[in-house]
Each structure stands twice: as C-alpha cells, then as structure tokens.
Amino acid sequence: MQLNKFVEYLKSKRDYRQQIVHVERIPARAARYASLKQPLPAALEEALRQAGVDKLYLHQAEAINAIRDGQNVIVATSTASGKTLVYNVPVLESILTDGRSRALYLFPTKALAQDQLRSLRQLTQHSLRHLSFGTYDGDTPQGTRRRLRQSAATLLTNPDMLHVGILPNHSLWSNFLAHLKYIVIDEAHVYRGIFGSQVACVLRRLLRLCRFYGANPQFICCSATIANPAEHAQRLTSVPAVVIHEDGSPQAGRQFVLWNPPFVDAAHTTRRSANIEATALFVEMVRHGIRNITFTKARKVAELILLYARDILTEEAPELVPLIRSYRAGYRPELRREIEQGLFSGQLLGVTATTALELGVDVGHLDATVLVGYPGTIASTWQQAGRAGRGVREALNVLIGLDNPLDQYFMRHPEALFGRSPEHALVAPDNVHILMKHLPCAAYERPLTSEDEELFGPGFAEAMVQLERQHILEYRNERWYFQGIGYPAEKVSLRSISGNKIAILDESQNYRLMEELEETTALARVYPGAIYLHQGESYLITHLDLNTGIAYAAPVEVDYYTEPRETNQVNIVRAWQQKKMPTSEAHLGELLVTQQVIGYRRLQQFTDTVLSEEPLDMPPQSFTTTGLWFDIPQAIRHMVEKRGLDFAGGLHAIEHAAIGILPLFAMCDRLDIAGLSTPLHPDTGCAQVFIYDAFPGGVGIAEKGYALLLELWQATLATIQECPCQDGCPSCIQSPKCGNNNEPLDKVAAILILQSLLGNQRI
C-alpha cells in the first residue's frame, strides 16, 4: 500500500478518534555533487568505482578537501548522507601514500563499530585487500589484539576501550600513536552530558600521548545536525574544527505525522496509553506490508509492544508473527546481528526497538518509523525518522505524543518541531568532579605538568589541589605523579560520575552481579520495593545495604512499575551571574542540593493508574551543582493572592512545566534536570524558582536555560495556557517525580505569574 493511502486508511477506520493532529509533508531533495581539488590514488578511485561511487556529494567533497588541507572538520549532515566516505577516503588515501600512517576510529557502541567494519571491508575487498584493519574492543581475542597492535593501519574501537585498554598501556601502542594521523569520531552528537564530558577528557589524554610520541593527529568528526557543531567539536576534542553542514545528499519525500492519543475522560486530564496506540499502528503497518522500526524509550516497552502485537497477529494473521522482532541493548551480539541482517535483507517487516537502533547501523530500506514519545532532542528525532526512506524512497514517520508537557507542546505547536533549529550539544570537560577522575589516569600514563592546564581547562588547578590533599597525586620535580596502586582508569566508568557504586546482585543466579549504578542516582532506582528493569526483565529490589553498596534483586512477573517520590532542599552557595528581566531578576550560580527518597508509587503498566503509595526512610544525598533561579517580586505575590489564587501552587506549577520544557532548548533528557520552588527561600527571603543540573558540578544545562530564560518562560506559558484541562494535568503542570504528590498546584496562578514575569500583565 502507498504510504499516503495508508494514512487515509487510518483515518477511515471505525476506531479513529482524530489522533492525527498534524501532517508535515517534507519534499524530496535532489543530490548535489562536487569535485575534489586533486585526484585520488588510482587504487582508491577503483575501489570507490567498484563500490558504486563515481562522484561525491557536495559535503563529502568539501570535507575531504578540508581534511587534505590539514584542517580538523566536523560534518553535521542528515542521517544516511554518506558521512562514512568523508573519513574512509582520506584515511585510505593517507595509508596508500604512506604505509606507516595510522587512523583511530571511535564509535559509541560496539555494534556500530562492527557495522562500519563491514563497510570498510566492502570498500577495500578488491583493489585494497592488502590493507590491515580491525575492531579492538572487549570481544576481541587476545591473539587478535596483539596482531592489531602491531600491524593494523586502521583501528575501530569505542571510547571505553580507549580509556581503559589502550591509554594505560600506551607503551605497547607507541608505534601506532607515533604515526597516528587521523582520529575519527563518529556520531559526535552522542557525546554530550556526563558521557560526553568524560569522553572529552579521554581525548585530551590521547592527545597528550600522541604529542609525547611526536604525532599531532587531525580530528574528523561526524554528527547529526546540532546547533553548535563548531563549539561542540572544540569542547570535545580541544582543537578548533571547520564545520561542513551544507548537505548534498538526495532526500526522499516524507510524511511526518503527529499522532496524539485521545482523551479517555470528560475532564480532558487523561489520554489513552501511547503504548496501546503504538501497538495498533505497528500491527497495521505489518499487516499492510509496511516495513518499519517502532522506537521506544524503554526496553520493557519495546518488549511489551512486541508481545501485544504477537497476540493480535496470532489471532488475525498468524503467518506474520515470525516477521516481527524486538531489538535492544542487552541481547547477545549474535542475536543483534541476526535481527540487523533480517532488517537489512528484508526478511523482517517490523521491529520494536530502543535507541540501540537509532545510530547508523545499516538496516537497509525501511518504509516507516514510529516514535513512541518525543526522543528528547530534535537531533534524535531526525536520527530515528531518518532510518526510513533512505536514498530516494518515500517514507512515513509517526510521532506519538506522551502525556507530558514537552510532547504535548509539540502536538499543539508543530512548527516548534519542524521549524526549530536543533539543540546545543553540551559538554563540560573542565568539570572539577570529572577532572578528578581523569587527571589521575593522565598522571599514571605520564606525569602531569603545569603545561597540561591549557589542555584540560580552567578546572585543572582546583582539581589538582584536591587530588594533592587526598594524596592521590604527589608533586615533585615540577611534576605530579600518581600515588595509588594499580591503574586508576579501571575504577572510572565513562558513563557515570560518582565515585561510589551500588552493585545489583541477582538472587536467583547465585547472587550474580547484574550491573553497577553510581550512588548519586542509585537511591532513586534501587530502593526496597522498586521494580528494576534489566535487559528487558523485571526485578524486585528486596533489600538495599548502603554499608556494603549492594542491592539485592529477584526476578518477578508484574504488571506494574514504580516511581520514586523525592524531596529536595536547595541552598545557594554563590551566585556567578545575575541579570535584569522585565519585572524581576535571574541568577546563575553554584547550589548545594540535598535529595531524599521518601517513598514510591506503584503504577499499572500502560494505564499508569496509581495502585498504591508506599513510604520509605532513605538517607539524604547532597552534592553541589550549577543552577539558575529567578525571583518573584512581592507585587506579583500580592496580585495573585488578591485574586484568591494559590501563590505557592502557581510557583510549583511553573517549576514543573519549565523543567518539562527546558529540553526543548538544551540537548538533555528530562531526568537530567531538577528543581525547587518556594514562596520564601531562607537564603534570600524571596519567593523563588530553582532549576538545576541533576549531576554533581553540572554539565551546562542550567547555563543554557539561564541564557534563554525569556524564551523558556514564553514556551512554558504557552504549554500551560493551551492545555485543554481545567485545573492541571500531566500534559502541563503535573510531574510524576514530584515528592509532594503534585500539591499544591494552581494552573491559573501559574499563568498569571508567568504573564507578569514576561511583562505582559500589569502588576
């Protein structure tokens, strides 16, 4: 069935309830080509010809020309625009020209490295078969590792292996590092937040060693479209880069449908489950032969949509059941390869997947993608959408809105999704907390000197002082030496920041270690009674021992999930900046945050019905971070109270809604930020709303919110005003994480306060 006819078919169904709130038609785009300034070596020209490449897209040629001129580059173009050739061509050319030349490819996942290894093999299988390359990760056998160290011209790995396997053993890699010409960073937009900040430190450690061995490699970064590619590349790598963003690749025409689940109550406060809507769409696509990936945010949801779809198809079309699968992290590598091949070959019609399939693993031609909830960033939205309709093939994308402020904002403001520039990718490599993890690693690899401050940034001095006080580093002969036992990198995870860990043990498997969580986030995930998801399976946390750092988990079959209830206390350590707003003042600075889990809710899967609320007595956790806060003048308070409205409820509603909307402006997840509102803060004696990074030290999210505070207020006001509910609902001012049971909340007061802050309401 043609995709436009399929959309009309959905509208004609008896149970259709006006879920389609917008259809964006994106026209096809023709390819644009360009030439290289100098011809390629004959063998490489032949390899490209045999691979079906007889000319280069505009951005490919521009990037390769810049790389040949010795410049670092970041290519920020759309999904499936041929970015792989941007780095493979100059890398292969350099190896053909100088057999000693080496290249390091970094991918965020092992699956992506394996996929790109396949591409490299295909490109070199005829005229370039003599070139040596391979993947170097945790799955690589010891014998192969030795061979790759000694002879590989191109090494494909991930930041974790670079951090813990290569850099601490750099003497074994001295020849490779001495001749390292290119460092390729694929999917550079993934390196943001805590993970990106840690990877930035790893790259600085790599540069130190390259320069020690006499090399000064160029960086080739490839990214989805982001708002700040030049800034991001420099903060990630420490060196400036030329931006290539004019996309010359062809693009298929596509329909992008916004699908909003219908209300299930007369008061317009509750919508039908987005997961039920996704199951129905997934089944219809499979029945009509529309090959698709249905993306979900959680592993369990991907499994459940598949389970429900199988139940429906078993009754209605049993021959289709073998043609649908699920895909997520946690599967064995061979199973993931099998599913990827099933998609690539066209054997599978539908796959429910997490973001594990969002990145550039080649899955062949798809007709459609379904996004169950806004993925969190504009960049990820287009990454997921771009998996369908590669080349010139028509595509259909469907975004199903969840019942939260940001999703519902897009449902009512499609132009904010389709007309908005992508977000800023934020990293903070000079975060003192992060530097305190990586400077000991760097000192172990090679003693640090004062010259390294320029490489590691402003946080270097403070971090070194603390490391000396803790006797982790010792200063002698104008150098800092690592004082510990073993090598420090093995104790530093790139995916977290806390030094303390909570180990989760499976009671049913002789207390096998399932995984480890950093303590700062663990208490909100593995409290006694919590349902914890691991590799798509549900586990009940039976006991948490904070003295030993162990959480005990037992597998269970349940139809509910849990959410913690937390209380926060925020104290101002110091303000760095302040600015005048239309009727108030805003501030940016350092905050001391104390969080405590005081209970949890049990919620029915899919319906989100609250089954029970359970109290907990957990110890408080404190950390310093970066936050913004703004004052609410007394005149606004008097005006609100004069109208008989709840001032504290209005502040509380603004806090919830603004936190829900901030990811629209910063490349972050809703869970990366938190907040507090109070009609009287003890540090200032004023009514205030705080929004802060939910990580020690902060990663730049609050700074972005501070810089764009006026726009944040405007979007928050629009979200609250336009929601059809009367008193507030999850789509506008309620928060599932609220430790105060969403009390008090006053929607009308929130609107009045925001209008006054923006200068639209006479005080």
Q: Tell me: the pLDDT tens digits for 401-446? A: 998 888 998 999 999 899 877 778 888 899 888 999 999 999 999 9
Instruction: Assess contact for 74 and 241: CB atoms under 8 A.
Output: yes
CA atoms within 13 A on the CB side of 406: 24
pLDDT on residue 360: 60
Q: How far is CA 98 from the centre of its chain?
A: 38
Q: What angle do CA 203, 207, 208 make, to 5 degrees?
A: 120
CA distances from 115 to 53, 110, 308, 367 (A): 19, 9, 31, 21
pLDDT at 311 over 70: yes
At 713 the three-state DSSP class reads: helix
**510 vs 90, residue with greater confidence:** 90
Single-letter code of the amino acid located at 669: D
pLDDT at 519 over 80: no
Q: Specify the range with the lowest mean pLDDT, choosing from 260-264, 373-377, 629-633, 754-758.
A: 373-377
pLDDT at 336 over 80: no
Single-letter code of the amino acid located at 440: P
Average pLDDT over residues 487-514: 83
Q: Which of 721, 748, 755 is nearest to 650 (CA)?
A: 748
Instruction: Assess contact for 653 and 720: CB atoms under 8 A.
Output: yes
pLDDT band at 355 (very low <50, low <70, confident <90, very high): confident
CA atoms within 13 A on the CB side of 749: 25
Indicate the pTM of the whole model.
0.81
pLDDT band at 739 (very low <50, low <70, confident <90, very high): low
As a whole number of angstroms, the distance between CA 335 and CA 346 comes to 17
CA atoms within 13 A on the CB side of 493: 12
As a whole number of angstroms, the distance between CA 210 and CA 201 comes to 14
As a whole number of angstroms, the distance between CA 186 and CA 485 comes to 34
Q: What angle do CA 350, 351, 354 make, to 5 degrees?
A: 150
pLDDT on residue 498: 59
pLDDT at 535 over 60: no
At 128 the three-state DSSP class reads: coil
Single-letter code of the amino acid located at 481: Y
What helix, strand, coil percent values describe the chain, rounded to 5? 40, 25, 35
User: What DSSP string runs through 367-399?
Assistant: SEEEEES--SSHHHHHHHHTTSS-TT--EEEEE
Residue 699 φ then ψ, to 5°: -130, 15
Residue 722 CB partners (closer than 8 Å, separation 6+): 412
At 24 the three-state DSSP class reads: strand
pLDDT on residue 361: 66
pLDDT band at 520 (very low <50, low <70, confident <90, very high): low
CATH class of 3-27+251-418: alpha beta
As a whole number of angstroms, the distance between CA 192 and CA 491 comes to 21
Residue 575's beta-bridge partner residues? 589
Structural tokens at position 386: 């771009």
DSSP for residue 272 = -
Structural tokens at position 562: 């849990």
Instruction: Assess contact for 614 and 741: CB atoms under 8 A.
Output: no
pLDDT band at 215 (very low <50, low <70, confident <90, very high): very high
CA 508, 509, 511, 516 torsion-angle sign = negative
Q: Which of 763, 599, 590, 597 is nearest to 692 (CA)?
A: 590
Structural tokens at position 573: 């350590």
Percent of the chain with pLDDT strictly greater than 90: 64
pLDDT at 503 over 80: yes
pLDDT band at 700 (very low <50, low <70, confident <90, very high): confident
- Kindly provide the b/e burial profile for residues 567-589, where b requires at least 16 CB atoms within 10 angstroms of the residue's own CB: ebebebeeeeeeeebebbebbbb
- Kindly provide the b/e burial profile for residues 691-716, where b requires at least 16 CB atoms within 10 angstroms of the residue's own CB: bbbbbbbbbbbbbbbbbbbeebbebb
At 612 the three-state DSSP class reads: strand
Domain 33-244 CATH superfamily? P-loop containing nucleotide triphosphate hydrolases (3.40.50.300)
CA distances from 384 to 79, 174, 198, 222, 502 (A): 9, 40, 25, 17, 33
Residue 142's beta-bridge partner residues? none
pLDDT on residue 330: 60
pLDDT on residue 362: 67
pLDDT at 653 over 80: yes
- Encode pLDDT of 156-212 as tens digits: 999 999 999 999 999 999 999 999 999 999 999 989 888 899 999 999 999 999 999
pLDDT on residue 12: 94
**Residue written as token pair 């609107």:** 751
Q: What is the CATH number of domain 501-558?
A: 2.40.10
pLDDT on residue 497: 63
Average pLDDT over residues 328-348: 79
Residue 254's beta-bridge partner residues? 26, 395
- Encode pLDDT of 585-603 as tens digits: 999 999 999 988 899 989 8
As a whole number of angstroms, the distance between CA 746 and CA 222 comes to 46
- Kindly provide the b/e burial profile for residues 42-76, where b requires at least 16 CB atoms within 10 angstroms of the residue's own CB: ebbeebbeebebeebbbbbbbbbbbbbeebbbbbb
End-to-end CA distance of the chain: 59
Average pLDDT over residues 326-342: 77
- Encode pLDDT of 718-732 as tens digits: 999 999 988 888 889
